[in-house]
Chain A
Amino acid sequence: MATLTPERWREISPYLDRALSLAESEREDWLKSMRVERPQLAELLQRLLAEHRTLSEERFLERSPVHPQAQTSLEGQEVGPYRLVSPIGAGGMGSVWLGERSDGRFERRVAIKFLNFAVAAEGGAQRFQREGRILARIAHPHIAELIDAGVMGNGQPYLVLEHVEGQAIDEYCDGRRLDVDARIKLFLDILGAVAHAHANLVIHRDIKPSNVLVSSTGEVKLLDFGIAKLLSDDGDPAAGTMLTLGSGAMTPLFAAPEQVSGGAITTATDVYALGVLLYLLLTGQHPAGAGPRSPAELVKAITETEPARPSDAVASAGPGTETTAERRAATPERLRRQLRGDLDTIVAKALKKNPQERYPSAAAMADDLRRYLQHEPISARPDTIAYVGAKFLRRYWLPVTAVAVVVASLVVGLYIANRERVIAEERFGQLRKLSSQMFDLDTAIRRLPGSTQARERLVSIAVGYLDGLAANARGNLDLIEEVGEGYLRVARVQGVPTDLNLGEPKQAEASLEKADELMDGVLASRPHERRALFLSAQIANASMILATEEHRNQDALSYARKSAERLDRFMRSGGAQKPERNTAAGLYSNIAAVDLDLHLYSEAVVYARRLVELGRSIPSDLRVVDGLTSLCEAELYQGHSQRALQDLQEARAISQHMIYEGPSAGIFDEFGTLLHEGLLLGEDGAINLGRPKEAIDLIQRAFDIADKAAEKDSRDALSRERVVNAGIPLGNLLRERDPGRALAVYDLALKRSEEAGSSVVMMRKRALLLADSSGALMRLRRYAEAKRRIDESLAILRKTKDYPTAQMGLDSEAYVVLSAWGDYEGKRGDPGQARQIYEQLLAQAIAGKPAADTDLTHAPRMSRVYERLGELDRRTGRAASAEDMDSRRLKLWQGWAQKLPNNSFVRSELAAASFSKAASTGVRR
């Protein structure tokens, strides 16, 4: 019968489909029914099915046209001095037979591999044999020996190889549950073999698990060495290169990018394949990721996508994670930790897309792996922005100094809460001094010729550079993180107030937002990516500081929480190195300070405690003391005065042993802790421990230390600030007891404040000094002078725009000055005026948040306002109103006494309030 016509074929095709989908047994029945319905069709079908049986037996088109069929008819055939025994398998390059010597000599059995190409050209056979023999000379214990190479009569080339029995290395390792170190040791054997071959100028080109066998005794053998080269290069350009076609499913799983894209093959190509193999051994996955891939996708992945770090690859949640770890005798967590760091770096270096960036040789890779095993530092460096950036530098030129600006390490500054300005300014001044010695950035900027414009230009170049990198960084995890960090550093230069900055908070915010977006992007798909977590915490921290500076409290709060959350996650994931822990401590310190500032005392306690713990673990005295002092403040404001005092005393004990180098004294040196403790013991108008005599003693000592230093050096602005900082509370404590002494203190402080310059901060302090000292003057009956000072202080506040304003709350300078004024008017001036002033203060206080009955910090001042008003009313005969004021004051402290029954400060305030109340009631009667 003639061949099927297309029409016939179309007709029969669906029936064939049906027939082929049935099992043999069912087919017969189906055909029977067909014969009844459509006899002609059935007959054709039967014939075709018979044809199918025949062609199956013939193995028609079974192999691609280029693959020799491994037929049993070859058995016994002689090949050189060997005889074919049985087929071992069909490899990618040809069929392989087990062979033995045909002359009966019992030597080991061999593997005879028939290669998939024809050596038809003249001289080809000799060339093949010659090259084969070159290969054969590469003897190495871990390389399967090439015994001989030859060409048969019909041009069929063959190789005689050492017959190796063993398991593919990945199966071997998994089956025996070898741990990471054991796998690396095996891998080092492979590297030794490859290095040896490379030294003999032979490249393997086809390294994969099935080519690396491990015998039952644990011996590694690398197969098929150099055969690919033999196949491909016959050295004669005219004859051309052998091209192997279609060997079945050759997915380029182990192909290097240059192999896939037609670049030059070098020893680095083998390094790449070794990298893939190592990746597989360590993680059980292919660098292109888990899951099936079509060849085209794989090719794209190989040439373009950066692989996930091994430590991340094993950490991704999934059912396979446990099994993978088990096969490496570890838990997923432990495995991740083992791989993190040096092994990540080594694998990454082997897998670089650009061959020139990889290890130049297997020997170099082996060296680093050995260093890893011996816990020595490896030579490979993780990508840095400067290095990766080189790729993009062609487009984004960057002056060296700008790189220094972006890349210079910045220590996270300690941001101090506004609330306790005395202590705050203290610390800040210290830190600024310290930082100006330590920061590269500072000097880098200073060294630049020109002014702010030059610095700004540099920053904008840096931002442009980062924007460019960010646009190209998709998929490249390390680069994304580097860029994120770059934005963070730039933001610090632009305007985060802890550091020397250009005063551009809006720009800083913009940079921080970019950085945040990048990190959120990373964390969306990799929630456990540690570096992104850490950077994210730092970014949120910087945003928090900016927001606090601008009094955007809600924003500050949410940034604080974000920073805390990310930081906690980062710390919980474990393995933080010492510099990271130091930075983390700084972050916690800032969070605690902002919490304090926002009166969130329980949160502040949490983070201050974390800071202390962290400080102890680093170990860092500075951090511990920092934490203890923040803790002390928080506890104080919660009303746990005793605990606060204990913490402070512990801090002082530690700080006495701290040594700082350099001209700046330490942040928590003798002055600082003396002052701080003194304030705690007896600060007037604030929560304290009610031990004024001791307080005076300590603060006086601090005052003297500062003044002595100021005396010694007329350019020492810092010491002068300190004199003022100590002078204010000291004067206030002495005011009632010893006004003469108080005045001397105030006046000395005033003198130093003039010497210290005229910043806004200093001007405000002058206003305070003037106002506070008026109280001493009044006690000394020097009323006119008192009034003059009050007027002067009001004038200063007008200049600094602190008065009059809408918000003159209980913690403002305006409050202090107005109270002083009110006192004066009440005692010597116009009581009506006094009343107005106090009422204004009262209104402001009531309107302000948080309220005095929920926030202990405000209670004393509020109480003072009531007290003043009550006194005023009593003197002007307004009894009912006086009683009202006293009642309110009493109620305030009764409320607090219920909340904090054991607090001595509350108790003493309550006692004073009760006494007043009783007295006023008495008066009325």
Chain B
Amino acid sequence: MASSISSLMSAAEQGDSAAKEALFAALYAELHRLAQRQLARQGFGVTMSTTSLLHRAYIDIAEQEGAAFPDRTRFMGYAARVMRGLIIDYARNRQAQKRGGQFEITSLGIEAGNAADSGKLIQVSDALDELARADPGLAEIVDLRFFCGFTFAEIAAMKGVSERTAQREWEKARIYLHQAIRAELES
């Protein structure tokens, strides 16, 4: 892989769509690799939340890239999107009744069947993709909060806004997604 993550990030931000794809692939590979490292352990396993996984990835990559690496915030923005991708991939796998990839993700609810909930996740993700076209900042918040589990305080710190603002953005995003999903179901 020729380009470093940091240069991919710069290019992606400038609208280079090839770079965007390469970045997604690179981060996906990185996160996947990290997750697999947990799995490869014999004897003792480990639970690692998405947030820890992301932080670990950030540290690993930042160390490799050295001074050239841009800030955590931007990294987390991209990584969160990738994380969602990983989760959705898995959800799609479950829907297809295949035995889940290399790692099983926790279940979605106790009262509903699992397949249906995977379906819901995919719907949310599709709606999110739409939202990302209209308002990328909001989509990022959903990735960070819903798929990666960061708190409002953490998100606020990452985005350099107040917690109230982060919460409000979240509410807006929810409105959008909810009506988008409903509209989809109705049509």
Contact = CB atoms under 8 A, between A and B. Distances in A.
Interface of A: 1-6, 9-10, 13, 16-17, 20-21, 47-48, 51-52, 54-55, 60-61, 64-69, 71, 73-74, 114, 116-118, 120-121, 152, 154-156, 203, 205, 228-229, 231-233, 237, 239-252, 255, 259-262, 264-266, 292, 294-296, 299-300, 303
A241 B172 contact: no
A232 B55 contact: no
Q: For the complex, would chain A's binding face be called helix, strand, loop or mixed by DSSP majority?
A: loop
A10 B171 CA distance: 15
15 contacts: A3-B184, A4-B179, A6-B133, A52-B174, A60-B174, A65-B108, A66-B107, A152-B110, A241-B39, A242-B47, A244-B49, A246-B49, A246-B146, A250-B49, A264-B41
B105 interface: yes
A73 B111 contact: yes
B103 A242 contact: yes
Given A60-B178, A61-B142, A248-B151, A232 B113 contact: no
Interface string B33-49: 01101110111111111
B67 interface: no
A68 B134 contact: no
A243 B147 contact: no
Given A74-B111, A120-B99, A243-B48, 9 more contacts: A2-B183, A4-B180, A60-B178, A116-B106, A120-B114, A229-B44, A249-B154, A252-B52, A299-B52
Given A68-B107, A120-B104, A154-B113, A10 B179 contact: no
A64 B46 contact: no
Contacts of B38: 241, 243, 262
A156 B114 CA distance: 10
B130 interface: yes
Contact of B107 (A73, A118, A232, A250): A118
Interface in B140-156: 142, 145-151, 153-154
B147 A3 contact: no
Contact of A69 (B39, B41, B51, B109): B109
A264 B150 CA distance: 25
The 10 closest A-B pairs by CB, nearest first: A246-B149, A233-B45, A232-B45, A6-B134, A249-B151, A116-B106, A241-B45, A66-B106, A118-B107, A55-B178
A94 to B, nearest CB: 8
Contacts of A52: 171, 174-175, 178
A262 B37 contact: yes
B37, B43, B164 — most chain A CB neighbours (10 Å): B43
B87 interface: yes
A312 B88 CA distance: 48
A118, A228, A229, A266 — most chain B CB neighbours (10 Å): A118
A290 B99 CA distance: 45
A185 to B, nearest CB: 31
A71 B109 CA distance: 10
Contacts of B113: 154
Nearest to B125: A65
A60 B182 CA distance: 12
Contacts of B41: 241, 264
B11 interface: no
Given A118-B107, A245-B87, A250-B149, A3 B130 contact: yes
Nearest to B144: A246
A74 B110 contact: yes
Contacts of A244: 47-49, 106
A913 to B, nearest CB: 79
Contacts of A16: 172, 175
A74 B19 CA distance: 48
Interface residues on B, range: 35 or more
B168 A240 contact: no
A241 B46 contact: yes
A226 to B, nearest CB: 12
Contact of B108 (A20, A68, A205, A264): A68
B46 A299 contact: no
Given A116-B106, A117-B104, A295-B154, A4 B114 contact: no
A156 B106 CA distance: 10
Contact of B49 (A47, A54, A245, A292): A245
A300 B102 contact: no
A118, A251, A260, A262 — most chain B CB neighbours (10 Å): A262
B8 interface: no
A266 B182 CA distance: 48
A21 to B, nearest CB: 6
Contacts of B52: 250, 252, 255, 259-260, 295, 299
Contacts of A152: 110
A52, A71, A152, A295 — most chain B CB neighbours (10 Å): A295
A68 B109 CA distance: 4
A243 B35 contact: yes
Contact of A245 (B105, B111, B142): B105
A239 B52 CA distance: 22
A242 B45 contact: yes
Contacts of B102: 240
Contacts of A9: 134-135, 176
A519 B46 CA distance: 42
Interface string B48-62: 111110011011000
B22 interface: no
Contacts of A205: 46-47
Contact of A249 (B91, B111, B150): B150
Interface in B154-187: 154, 157-158, 164, 168, 171-172, 174-180, 182-184, 187
B106 A117 contact: yes
A16 to B, nearest CB: 5
B125 to A, nearest CB: 10
A245, A262, A296, A300 — most chain B CB neighbours (10 Å): A245
A231 B177 CA distance: 32
B121 interface: yes
Given A60-B174, A229-B44, A266-B44, A245 B149 contact: yes
Contact of A121 (B42, B44, B99): B99
Contacts of A117: 104, 106-107
A522 B9 CA distance: 40
Contacts of A240: 39, 102-104
B26 interface: no
B175 A48 contact: yes
Contacts of B44: 203, 229, 232-233, 264-266
B136 to A, nearest CB: 10
B140 to A, nearest CB: 15
Contact of B149 (A47, A51, A64, A74): A64
Contacts of A245: 49-50, 87, 105-106, 149
A443 B185 CA distance: 90
A61 B48 contact: no
A246 B134 contact: no
A263 to B, nearest CB: 9
A296 B148 contact: no
B110 A249 contact: no
A61 B45 CA distance: 29
A118 B104 contact: yes
A24 to B, nearest CB: 13
Given A121-B99, A245-B106, A246-B149, A237 B176 contact: no
A604 B18 CA distance: 79
B13 to A, nearest CB: 19
B56 A10 contact: no
A229 B107 contact: no
